[in-house]
Amino acid sequence: MAERKILAYPETILRERAAPVTNIDGKLQKLIDDMADTMYHAPGVGLASNQVGELYRVIIFDISAKDEPNDLVVLINPEIIEADGLIVNEEGCLSVIDYAADIKRAERVTVKGMDREGNPITLKKEGLAAIVLQHEIDHLNGILFIDHISKLKRELYKRRLKKLLKQREALSRRL
């Protein structure tokens, strides 16, 4: 396993739609292992393949508590087939630097896809797991959680990010 760089907004690949997986091979297994290593080191609770520069429909997540054993879930070609209820929760993202916002999501989802061996699976999740699934599947469709906030809030974030990136660039030139 190897830790990969997590791409950050405004990287263009984060806005691209990931392609369905048609072949589960050693390369894909390595990607999944690398994604898990990256997510746990970040630390995060979920990761989509385009966040590490790969446009495959693959997500992983683990919402287990830090004092519990890891419970990694891998989903290939995930698709939300049912969603209901409404929940508002603060979300952040490993690819959206220094920002969190309250986002409306479905409270319960049913998602179908394949596990890492290619076996079909269906997950029925609610609460945090449902939120994470929707967030990560959005990534595969080129959607970031900031697309769910008002245009004004998004523009304010973009301005703040631009300023932050300029400050980091100036600092790195000095070093």
pLDDT at residue 166, rounded to an integer: 84
Q: How confident is the model at residue 145 (pLDDT cuts 50, 70, 90)?
A: very high
Residue 132 class from Cβ within 10 Å (0-12 exposed, 13-18 middle, 19+ buried)?
buried
Mind telling me the catalytic residues? 136
Q: How does pLDDT run across 54-67, given as a tens digit for each residue? A: 999 999 999 998 88
Q: How confident is the model at residue 175 (pLDDT cuts 50, 70, 90)?
A: low
Q: How confident is the model at residue 43 (pLDDT cuts 50, 70, 90)?
A: confident
Q: Give the range among 93-107, 111-125, 152-166 with minimum mean pLDDT.
A: 152-166
Q: Where are the domains of the chain?
A: 12-148
Q: How does pLDDT run across 1-11, given as a tens digit for each residue? A: 689 999 999 99
Give how far Cα 128 sits from Cα of 7, 36, 42, 61, 160, Å. 23, 19, 19, 11, 28
pLDDT at residue 66, rounded to an integer: 82
pLDDT at residue 65, rounded to an integer: 85
Question: What is d(CA 29, CA 24) in angstroms, rounded to the nearest whole number?
Answer: 7
Of the candidate CATH numbers 1.10.287.1080, 3.40.309.10, 3.90.45.10, 2.40.50.90, the domain formed by 12-148 belongs to: 3.90.45.10
